[in-house]
A and B are shown apart, each in its own frame.
Chain A
Amino acid sequence: MSRIPVLTLAAAAGWSLGACAGGRADRAPGDLRGYLLEHPLPKPGFTLTATDGSRFDFRPATDGFLTLVFFGYTNCPDVCPVHMSNLGAVLPELDPQVAARIKVVFITTDPRRDTPAVLRTWLDHFSRGFIGLSGDSSSVAGVQTALQLPPAVVEKATAADSAYTVGHSALVVAFTPDNLAHLVYPYGTRQEDWAHDLPALVQGAWGGGRK
């Protein structure tokens, strides 16, 4: 078994971001289905390469949007396709005005295999609107650290090996329109949960209260 399910289990069991960086996540009060962070995370500023080859300046490009950030890779056998598939299935079912306020950003943890073209083809499987970003390993690790996530770990890859796995966090970090991440969503988040929470988050509601 790869490392992903281990991380997944930790996340599903109420894994705390503090395990790596001093934060804390609890099941959100009220009726939201995500896990509420004790200390909201500020939206980091970073620039990576989009699938069309352009530079993607994350903070201004997502300003004012509900932005769901996930780190993964296209050869991921379990967590990544399930998260992306579930989000890809739910967004078209939402009110179009709500869906238009949501951006899904997938940052590859396997730049060696995930070329922009590969990443685009894979994401299009789920939604043509998903944003795919790539960068060198140290840049991506820096973003993960900024989000208090454990950096991805390439397992047993040699120069000739193209069938390796990459251990990575299974959390989707949700930045609300105030440019803070109040909630995270572990592997195990269902389509119903997304359909329930996303409209509320777009309206600026978290922790059971609405702004």
Chain B
Amino acid sequence: MRWWCSALLGVPWSWRWQAYPGVWFFVLALAVAYTWSVRRLPDNGQLTTDNAADRQPASPRDITLFALGLLMLWIGADWPVGVLAAGYLLSVKTLQYLLLGYIAPGLMLLGTPAPLLRRLTRGPVTSRLARLLTRPLIPLAVANGVLVAVHLPVVVDNLSRSQIWTFVLDLAVIGSGFVFWWPALARLPELHPMSYGARIGYLGLNVFLPTVPASFFTFSQYPIYALYELAPRVNGISAVADQRVAGILMKLCGGGILFGTMSVMFFRWYRRESGAEPEGLRVPG
């Protein structure tokens, strides 16, 4: 029994369902931890602001967003996306990266109530880390460092066949997603988050950095990764066509997510400046 999706070298792709219990356990553990933590909040949550949202430890909106984040994480890590990404199609690996590294962490962070975040960042180490990550330079370096590292040919070609390594790399991608969104979503006012303008600038910078691997994928004459080039073909898709789709996906969908977030922030900024921002808005600054 395989527990985490990894490359199945030399095995033709099949649409026959396969179980990956490690993925289920991982997603279930996060769901249980969230539910347990949220249920404990009314007793132990430290309400340090007058923000109306803090009085509702887990609103239906929070729960929905977190559940959606978990769903994205599950889809990205489990069969078929996880298996296709690990050893067959670079385009699916890119889709998986967007799910695990952008969409799921962003939704999960938005779905975590502020009092719970406050509790999670209350310790001496976690509070220092939370403050450190609120500043944009380190998240920028971490998120893009992981982006580059997990796309290095030597990493993809040599580590993708190991379940432990794919698990570690997937965790790194998910973790880097939380680090990336932390300063942009800035849920805790007491951490002195960046202004809306700075956050938009931070996201804008992150639109351009992934352009580098995306350009390699799109314009490279030959396949970059031996793993995907030599994998049994899926539906006759050639390795170069797959690579080009990956580049376009990373650029358009990755950019779309960030531009979408930047647009929302811009309009919230505008509404705040014009005094029309509703009370209890989740994104301070």
Contact = CB atoms under 8 A, between A and B. Distances in A.
Contacts of A85: 233, 238-239
A4 B9 CA distance: 12
B223 A187 contact: no
A188 B226 contact: yes
Interface residues of B, number: 17
B236 A86 contact: no
Interface of B, secondary structure class, is loop
B230 interface: yes
B229 A86 contact: yes
B60 interface: no
A148 interface: no
Contact of A78 (B10, B221, B236, B240): B10
A190 B232 contact: no
Given A5-B10, A93-B221, A77 B238 contact: no
A85 B223 CA distance: 12
A81 B229 contact: no
B1 interface: no
A190 B223 contact: yes
A82 interface: yes
A194 to B, nearest CB: 9
Interface of A, secondary structure class, is helix
A195 interface: yes
A16 interface: no
A75 to B, nearest CB: 10
Interface string B209-244: 000000000000111001001111100101110000
A59 interface: no
Contact of A190 (B230, B231, B233, B236): B230
Contacts of B12: 77-78
A8 B10 contact: yes
A117 B238 CA distance: 22
B160 to A, nearest CB: 15
Nearest to B231: A82
Nearest to B238: A85
B10 A82 contact: no
Measured as residues with beta carbon below 8 angstroms from the partner, the interface class of chain A is 20 to 34
A54 to B, nearest CB: 28
B222 A195 contact: yes
Contacts of A93: 221-222
B11 interface: yes
Contacts of B236: 81, 125
Contacts of B222: 89-90, 93, 190-192, 195
A5 B236 CA distance: 19
B15 to A, nearest CB: 14
A129 to B, nearest CB: 16
Interface string B4-17: 00000111100000
Contacts of A77: 12, 232
Interface in A171-193: 187-188, 190-192
29 contacts: A1-B10, A1-B11, A4-B10, A8-B10, A78-B10, A78-B12, A78-B232, A81-B232, A81-B233, A81-B236, A82-B230, A82-B231, A85-B233, A85-B238, A85-B239, A86-B229, A89-B238, A93-B221, A93-B222, A125-B236, A190-B222, A190-B229, A190-B230, A191-B223, A191-B229, A191-B239, A192-B222, A195-B221, A195-B222
Interface of A: 1, 4-5, 8, 77-78, 81-82, 85-86, 88-90, 93, 125, 187-188, 190-192, 195
The 8 closest A-B pairs by CB, nearest first: A77-B12, A5-B10, A78-B232, A191-B222, A81-B233, A192-B222, A77-B232, A85-B238
